[in-house]
Amino acid sequence: MRIVLLGTGDTVGTPKIGCTCPACVDALSGGRSARLRFSIMIESDEGRVLIDTGPDLRYQLLKFGIDHVDGVIWTHGHYDHYAGFGEFYRVQDRVHVYGLKDTLDYILQYLYFMNPVRHDVVAYEPFRLIGLEFTLFLVHHPPLSESAGVIVRNGDKKLVITGDTTKQIPERSIEIMRDPDILMCDAIAPPIFDLKKHMNTTEAEELASELHAKETVMTHLSHLFPPHDEAVKQWNLGYDGMELVL
């Protein structure tokens, strides 16, 4: 299983329009602080699946030479996680899309013109795609009543993607998240920020410790960090184009 972080940014991405903070300046000069909106590609010998389709998807598909996918999984109905799906228009018809019922109901009101093949997923019930096992689990991302993380299994290897969440993840989810080989964890800002909808880095580290994660990669990152090359001395931050094999 090959994992590529197509985008590691938050809703506005980095650089933020009109901002001259150190991270945005680094991003504008070509540094790794540059972050497109959130999307992850999961690839096996049998195909490719996208976890979320952020607004920058067209550029991401071109950059990584992706002209076909075998499925899209949406974690929740926020613009920065689904709006780029329209970039498949006149590229690929009848894309198979997966998500919890309320999430699909909401997203497909907007993307109805794509006429995708809808697959309603039940939380905690595994399903198979591209030779891998996927499971959606519930997280806590107010004010949404429904938001999911994703577990991907390849034999005895386990990837956990938290999706957008606070630390208040349901205990049933915590139990199936335990002992991941890789934890890709929402960590939108350093610990000086008190967040209502996301984890900060300290909360992400606490979750990784609780789950006994072998490796942690923080993602969905804002411009509130120091420039990337400084920030990674303190936190395990992902970056656009980062690849892992599991």
> What pLDDT, on the 0 to 100 scale, is given for residue 193?
82
pLDDT, tens digit (0-9, with 9 covering 90-100), for 144-192: 999 999 999 999 999 999 999 999 999 999 999 999 999 999 999 999 9
User: Is there a contact between 106 and 78 (Cβ–Cβ < 8 Å)?
Assistant: no
d(CA 189, CA 201): 6
Order of strands, sheet of 71-73, starting from the edge strand that comes earlier in the sequence: 117-120, 96-99, 71-73, 47-51, 39-44, 2-7, 243-245
User: Is there a contact between 166 and 150 (Cβ–Cβ < 8 Å)?
Assistant: no
Give the SS3 label for residue 133.
Answer: strand
Supply the pTM of this predicted model.
0.96
User: Is there a contact between 244 and 180 (Cβ–Cβ < 8 Å)?
Assistant: no
Domain extent listing, the chain: 2-245
> What pLDDT, on the 0 to 100 scale, is given for residue 195?
83
- Measure CA 203 to chain center: 17
Q: Which CATH architecture has domain 2-245?
A: 4-Layer Sandwich (3.60)
Length of the chain equals: 246
Please give the structure tokens belonging to residue 155: 């034999």
Please give the structure tokens belonging to residue 65: 């030479």
pLDDT, tens digit (0-9, with 9 covering 90-100), for 125-138: 999 999 999 999 99
Nearest of 145, 140, 190 to residue 162 by alpha carbon: 140
d(CA 236, CA 104): 32
Q: What percent of the chain has pLDDT over 70?
A: 100
Higher pLDDT, 211 or 113: 211
Contacts of 220 (CB under 8 A, 6+ apart): 8, 9, 10, 38, 164, 186, 187, 188, 198
Q: What is the DSSP letter of 114?
A: G
What rounded mean pLDDT belongs to the chain?
Answer: 97
> What pLDDT, on the 0 to 100 scale, is given for residue 196?
87
Nearest of 94, 138, 129, 133 to residue 113 by alpha carbon: 94
Query: How many Cβ atoms are within 10 Å of 155's Cβ, its own excluded?
Result: 9
Kindly report the backbone phi and psi dihedral angles of residue 148, in degrees, each rounded to the nearest multiple of 5, phi listed first: -130, 155
pLDDT, tens digit (0-9, with 9 covering 90-100), for 210-223: 999 999 999 999 99
pLDDT, tens digit (0-9, with 9 covering 90-100), for 35-91: 999 999 999 999 999 999 999 999 999 999 999 999 999 999 999 999 999 999 999
Kindly report the backbone phi and psi dihedral angles of residue 155, in degrees, each rounded to the nearest multiple of 5, phi listed first: 65, -125
User: Is there a contact between 98 and 71 (Cβ–Cβ < 8 Å)?
Assistant: yes
